[in-house]
Amino acid sequence: MSAEAAPPPPHAADRLLAAIEAKRAPGCVGLDPVRDKLPASCPRGGPDTPLPDASERILFFCMDVIRAVAPFVPCIKLQSACFERLGPSAASHVRSLTEAAHQLGLEVILDAKRGDIGLTAAHYAQAAFPDEQRGPGGAGADWLTINSYLGEDAITPFLRPAPPSSHGAFALARTSNPGGDTIQNLQLKDGRTVAEAVGEMIARIGADHVGERGYSSLGAVVGATKPQDARRLRAVMPQQIFLVPGYGAQGGGIDDVLPCFNSDGTGALVTASRSIIYAFKPDDPKWMDSVADAAAQFADEVGRAVGMR
């Protein structure tokens, strides 16, 4: 008797939506670790143990942050630059944090904003995602942020065939930084902005990767600080999950992020980073409690705003 074939892995968007519903909060905590902001009680070594280097201290800190926020949010986002600057240990730390998050049932976004074409883009995808045929990728992430401003051939290498589309990408559409206005707000001859034209491209490409819940494994990055643009982009991209940076420390609030959601309260994932992972005083011995409280408050705010609580 032949063994039964393993079921296909869940579609990335379906899996993310299920995780959001389980926590009743469309929220993601971003891990942007900086050595100078670590709590004083973060492991420093002692007389009988070597002093951990900056890389190790950041790993310890991020592990504790993940444990603190896991009960409240469905997802974490690892800022690749904060780890890459640590040197050779970066890849192993990202992999360790991803595995720890997965053990706690969290979705993991690698925020690397990769942007290249052809074979180079395929290499970047292999570095970010597990490969069902050839084993785990370098990071093992569920989602990756990518730069869509190189066009379609810089997007498609990051998408898995449908089915199963088990890993997904968030393509830049309307970013939260003020400098993005210079390009993204430019008006084309037909009246659309550059961001809207990019949004239409994302929607078209993503239409081939839609799961059972009606959302694509190709999502879009739409900043919380651009609510008027978000309304137009939501109409352009009804099947995209929006990854929404800019909440909290960057100035975005609840009223700013609501236009990113569809009318039923689905379709967006709000991210907060510094306002949560540094929600403590440097000498606070119970700093993890402060991080957990901030994550719980954040989850409650966004969950209530979209009717999940």
Residues carrying an active site annotation: 113
Q: How far apart are CA 266 and CA 155, in angstroms?
A: 24
Give every CB contact of residue 134 below 8 A, 6+ residues apart in sequence: none
The secondary structure of 69-92, three-state, reads: HCCCCCEEEEEHHHHHCCCCCHHH
How many of the other CB atoms lie within 10 Å of CB of 211? Answer: 23
Largest CA distance in the chain: 69
Amino acid identity for residue 125 in this structure: A
Q: How far apart are CA 237 and CA 169, in angstroms?
A: 14
Radius of gyration for the chain, computed over Cα atoms and rounded to the nearest angstrom:
19
Instruction: Detail the DSSP E strand segments found in 117-264.
Output: 143-146, 168-174, 218-222, 242-244
